[in-house]
Amino acid sequence: MGSLHGFGLGIVSENAQGEPLDAFYPLPLAEVSGAVAAALEGVTGRLDNAQLTELASGLKAAGSDTLAQLAQQLTHASQPVVATALANNTAPTSVEEAYLKLHLISHRLVKPHATDLSGLFGLLPNVAWTGQGPVDLRELSQRQLDARLRGELLEVSSVDKFPKMTNYVVPTGVRIAHTARVRLGAYLGVGTTVMHEGFINFNAGTEGPGMIEGRISAGVWVGKGSDLGGGCSTMGTLSGGGDIIISVGEDCLIGANAGLGIPLGDRCTIEAGLFVTAGTKVSVLEDSGATVETLSARMLAGRSDLLFRRHSSTGAVQCLTNKSAIELNEMLHANN
């Protein structure tokens, strides 16, 4: 066997018809090769205890003691156990594959956009997320009644396709004030703090360290040392950004209630309350304050050391730099 682009041993939740609702992979692997890949050859789908015991023996012989121990522990699972292998970095074809890809991101094994998530929404079922795990919406009323008959309450925390990340993965070195606001499939680098109003979607995240008090939409990547102020927004590929991947460079500040619809370079600032989209008309000012050119904000995408502000009297959007007019013209009309 050659190599794998991902592998996970996990536990599956199913509805009454045996259809998968989610999958939990405690120790997912990325880019598996060598003796471990050979031990995993042909290991896919639901596994019984005999298969798990045999797998544990093979993994131990291959030198993967940690995964071997997990395989042995899973013989005690009360729910179905699944082995999921990703032979190539292609779109997921099952709930189990979709959840493995989301786990790989949240475990920091791959970064956002590094794994193909095409068709993800069509695969994931919309379920009720409860303290007892996911519940098929068609079965929810009976489950609620059963709980009441036992004198209990079945708490439904959300109805969604995506669960919160911390029920599956809690990365080291982070703070999350409100865990429901970080979805599985988010990437949180070491040193990331997500405050109560912060939000991080799947296939998005932070390099860390950074302070997140605003919204990181699907597909958005935030560089280290950057701060997203309270109530600010980033325009993701699912929320109007189209195919443009919005990113925030290092040491940037997006002010409170501001917004971003273009990629930013390093050390950029958007003042509070200002939303900069690709079509926003921006007057570019040199260090003396003179206007060099007025253009669409998309022409400034990816540039560093920019300050976006709104003129207090005219309301015009301005971009300040520390460059001279000659340097600015070279920068604005470069083809890179």
Count the neighbouring beta carbons within 10 Å of the beta carbon of residue 152: 12
177 in the same domain as 148:
no
155 in the same domain as 177:
no
265 in the same domain as 175:
yes
304 in the same domain as 186:
yes
Consecutive H or E run containing 47: strand 45-47
CATH number, domain with residue 184 = 2.160.10.10
Cα 96 to the center of its chain, rounded Å:
17
Burial class (CB in 10 A: 0-12, 13-18, 19+), 35: middle
Single pTM value for the model: 0.92
172 in the same domain as 117:
no
**Count of domains for the chain:** 3
Yes or no: say if 135 and 126 are a contact pair by the CB < 8 Å rule. Answer: no
141 in the same domain as 117:
no
From the list 232, 235, 253, the residue with the least C-alpha distance to 306 is: 253
Q: Which residue range is the domain that position 61 belongs to?
A: 3-124
171 in the same domain as 191:
yes
Whether the CA torsion 106, 111, 115, 118 is positive or negative: it is positive
The C-alpha angle 314, 317, 321, rounded to 5 degrees, equals 120
- The residue from 97, 124, 151 where one domain ends is 124
Yes or no: say if 57 and 72 are a contact pair by the CB < 8 Å rule. Answer: no
Count the neighbouring beta carbons within 10 Å of the beta carbon of residue 235: 23
CATH number, domain with residue 86 = 3.30.70.2010
Alpha helices in 170-296 (DSSP H): none
Catalytic, out of 213, 271, 293, 330: 213
Three-state DSSP class for residue 317: strand
155 in the same domain as 85:
no
263 in the same domain as 134:
no
Three-state DSSP class for residue 14: strand
CATH number, domain with residue 154 = 3.30.60.70
DSSP lists the bridge partners of residue 4 as 32
Per-residue pLDDT in tens (0 to 9) along the chain, 336 residues: 468 899 999 999 999 999 999 999 999 999 899 999 999 999 999 999 999 999 999 999 999 999 999 999 999 999 999 999 999 999 999 999 999 999 999 999 999 999 999 999 999 999 999 999 999 999 999 999 999 999 999 999 999 999 999 999 999 999 999 999 999 999 999 999 999 999 999 999 999 999 999 999 999 999 999 999 999 999 986 554 456 789 999 999 999 999 999 999 999 999 999 999 999 999 999 877 888 899 999 999 999 999 999 998 899 999 998 665 556 566 665 644
213 catalytic per annotation:
yes
